[in-house]
Structure 1
Amino acid sequence: MSNTLVLFEHGQSLWLDYAGRDLLVNDSLKQLVTAGVRGATHNSAQWGDTINNTHHYDDTLRDLVQADHEIDEAKLYQWLLIQDTQIAADILHPVYDSSQGEDGFVSIDVSPQFAYDTQGTLEAARHLWKEINRPNLMIGVPGTQEGFPAIERLLAEGINVNVTLLCSVSGYEAAAAAYAQGVAMNSNPERVASVVSFLISAVDSKIEWQLERRGTPEALSLQGKIALANARLTYQGFQRFIKSDFFLEQQQRGARVQRLLWPNPRMELPGYSDLGYVEDLIGRDTVVSMSPEMLDAFEHHGAIRMTLDDPFGEAERDFKDLEAMGVGFERLMEELQKERIEANLYAYEQLLLVLKDKCQAVMKGYAAP
């Protein structure tokens, strides 16, 4: 049995952190689904590389430009995203059916330009939901102050939501509250699903310089530990939430558990395993997304046990030690979320430039005798 299937027996679903056309046209995604992959998330960086460095999108880009000579890069981006998502969602639909709507999702994000715009997020998410028209679509919305009202409204309307870019227990609690309010307003909550994407490797990278700057043995002993401690304490908060009276009341109405998703938890710090944090984040009612490369490594030499069920005492001690050093964790996590939003916006703008250059190259090649 593959590690992916064994992982599912432990209550964790594995989603692929990429669903570009190179995986869609050669049956690679179908084969991965057969092997146990249960969903997919959109990876803009790898998608941009595929658009720029392969010919998989050339014919589609040429057709779109020929159909509308005034089409801009933002519309090209959206059309390509819609087409890829529809194909991937159809491939994953048998998983969606067999799991009764628990898995089989393709998650794509609203444009990062709406991260601090409630109404813009609502309009963008509704547009994607209508155009893609697949029940196993999930819309990624940043867990910002402006994003949470949109998340509530979308869930109330029956639109599946991935709450993204969270990195603290307090952020998770806000996402859980938004989910609870959203499903409470939904007359048929069993038809909607949600996950909370919780940053892992970026947390350690953000904390690292604080520990190095202090340079004490106590500080250096926490290197590579805070992200996992943060995730464990968040999982503890998740367990409290799903046992709360309010959620149990909604669950009786058919509401699903809003699972935690660990997005591509590779190690950004040097000198660590090619499996990153994966082996330390295994627990029931969770999802992990992996790049194709990490998935290969996991299948080859990943070890599986219920690590999130380990006692939380060490995680609590690590945070107490961090606090005693004067590290303002909540403030740093607020900074991290802003930095990630800015990075996503920059990546989006760069991808539009890639599309512009690619279209020019494709049309030039088409016009050449």
Structure 2
Amino acid sequence: MASISNFSSQTPLNSSPILPPPPATTTILRFPSKLPLFSHRFSLCSTAPLAASLVVKCSQNGGNGSYVKRTTLHDLYEKQGQSPWYDNLCRPVTDLLPLIESGARGVTSNPAIFQKAISTSNAYNDQFRELVQGGKDIESAYWELVVKDIQDACRLFEPIYDETDGGDGYVSVEVSPRLADDTQGTIDAAKWLHKVVDRPNVYIKIPATAACVPSVKEVISLGISVNVTLIFSLSRYEAVIDAYLDGLEASGLDDLSRVTSVASFFVSRVDTLVDGMLENIGTPEALNLRGKAANAQAALAFQLYQKKFSGPRWEALVKKGAKKQRLLWASTSVKNPAYPDTLYVAPLVGPDTVSTMPDQALQAFIDHGTVGRTIDSNVPEAEGIYSALEKLGIDWSYVGSRLEDEGVVSFKKSFDSLLDSLQEKANSMKLVNL
């Protein structure tokens, strides 16, 4: 982990931004379509333009459209207790203001998001030039760019954090993906990021690899809030919960109320892999289960969540102010165009959970998403699907391990590509070649 020193002072954003009022004529059209939990029709999604006036686009050129009075995101939180977050970040972070006004309550980022933001934008050029000319190497300069974005985003969401007494309004930043197999390196990186970002509403993202689950326990015990990412299986999810509980117990803190966590459980990628396996099997029973594995497993994860955060052990922690490690549904964009575009959002609505949505999923849900508690509406069906897949030869352990490996490799490639892009940027700007 490259160290960063002598941070250049930045003009802070107002911690309580005054948002301009929404246009009086703005309306949101919602369609009364129902989306069953696991059963859905396989028809191509409509290509008609979306009805919502909010244009979800994280870009310093396009902005995020106009303000809206009220969206399904507000209903999601106020009626069902699920927090809608935005899975994207770019400069200027003020692009997030219309999304906050429209109901977004947090932000997640990852190496792929920063790779896209930094490599395709000129908004980072001035700071990058100053850093490199000031003697920073490329990787150190990268982390300063990231830290500034995260700090600025934290300030935008701080009012939500304050209003909910630390229950919401978080911004997530991930440790280097190169540390996915390094327990102590991940701990050190998490401590460093927490220190340099220096915002109460930052989540340090740590991957749920076998090497990093112990890191989660240690980082939590230090009083640092964590977003545990790349969770693809029930067994690994249970290990993540245990790491959180162990960390709280090991902290020695009398007040645990400011140590929080989310567990990022990935969904659409599960269907992408399992669907291919089912197509290889090729039987009518197998083909009928396509598009159902991810939500079935997610429903069972919610059952595990309810079980683990109850009973004497948990109640003892609650007496010290502990908060549940919320389930966060990640990878919510639909990869198969034959599936409904809210497939990984609408069927996973439940209390004390988070749904982080990239542009496409967020726009679709604002436009025609339906709000109702669905995550535990048909648990027996979820159990049946999970078992049926096992009987067909789907090895859930293999699915989880393969997707975890692919996720780590993907983030490493994005990280390395970003550093290469920054080196090219330095060359094109005729800066010192570091």
Length-normalised TM-score, structure 2: 0.80
- Decide whether the 8 Å contact of 1:62 with 1:363 is kept in 2: no
Residues 69-80 of structure 1 correspond to what in structure 2 (within 5 A)? 71-80=136-145
CA 247–122 in structure 1, closer or farther in 2 if over 3 Å, else same: same
Residue 47 of structure 1 and its aligned partner are, at CA, apart by 2.8
User: For residues 274 and 359 of structure 1, what CA distance do their matches in structure 2 show?
Assistant: 40
Q: Say whether 1:15 aligns with 2:85.
A: yes
Which secondary structure state, in structure 1, belongs to the residue aligned with residue 317 of structure 2?
helix
Which secondary structure state, in structure 2, belongs to the residue aligned with residue 293 of structure 1?
helix
Residue 302 of structure 1 and its aligned partner are, at CA, apart by 0.9
Q: Which residue of 2 aligns with 1:340?
A: 407
Q: Which residue of 1 aligns with 2:164?
A: 99
Q: Which residue of 1 aligns with 2:312?
A: 245
Q: Which residue of 1 aligns with 2:5?
A: none
Which secondary structure state, in structure 2, belongs to the residue aligned with residue 14 of structure 1?
strand
Normalized per residue, the structure richer in helix is: 1
User: For residues 43 and 156 of structure 1, what CA distance do their matches in structure 2 show?
Assistant: 24
User: For residues 347 and 328 of structure 2, what CA distance do their matches in structure 1 show?
Assistant: 13
User: For residues 363 and 83 of structure 1, what CA distance do their matches in structure 2 show?
Assistant: 24
Q: Say whether 1:193 aligns with 2:240.
A: no
CA 325–264 in structure 1, closer or farther in 2 if over 3 Å, else same: closer
Quick one: percent identity of the two aligned structures? 38
Q: Give 5+ residue unaligned stretches, structure 1.
A: none
Which secondary structure state, in structure 2, belongs to the residue aligned with residue 304 of structure 1?
coil
Q: Which residue of 2 aligns with 1:64?
A: 131
User: For residues 331 and 304 of structure 2, what CA distance do their matches in structure 1 show?
Assistant: 21
Q: Give 5+ residue unaligned stretches, structure 2.
A: 1-69
424, 427, 433: which one pairs with 1:357?
Answer: 424
Residue identity opposite 2:71 in structure 1: S
Which secondary structure state, in structure 1, belongs to the residue aligned with residue 429 of structure 2?
helix
Residue 362 of structure 1 and its aligned partner are, at CA, apart by 2.7
User: For residues 251 and 125 of structure 1, what CA distance do their matches in structure 2 show?
Assistant: 25
Worse overlay, 304-313 or 219-228: 304-313
Q: CA RMSD in A?
A: 1.5
User: For residues 282 and 311 of structure 1, what CA distance do their matches in structure 2 show?
Assistant: 13
Residues 99-138 of structure 1 correspond to what in structure 2 (within 5 A)? 99-138=164-203
Number of paired residues?
Answer: 360
Residue identity opposite 2:373 in structure 1: M
Q: Which residue of 1 aligns with 2:249?
A: 184
Q: Say whether 1:54 aligns with 2:121.
A: yes
Residue 75 of structure 1 and its aligned partner are, at CA, apart by 1.0
Residue identity opposite 1:117 in structure 2: D
- Once the two structures are superposed, residues 293-349 of structure 1 have per-residue CA deviations (whole angstroms, 9 ceiling, x without a partner) of 322221111111111130211111112111111221112211211111111111111
User: For residues 46 and 249 of structure 1, what CA distance do their matches in structure 2 show?
Assistant: 39
User: For residues 133 and 336 of structure 2, what CA distance do their matches in structure 1 show?
Assistant: 46
Residue identity opposite 2:196 in structure 1: E
Length-normalised TM-score, structure 1: 0.94
Residue identity opposite 1:165 in structure 2: L
Residues 129-278 of structure 1 correspond to what in structure 2 (within 5 A)? 129-186=194-251, 187=253, 188-278=255-345
Residue identity opposite 1:340 in structure 2: G
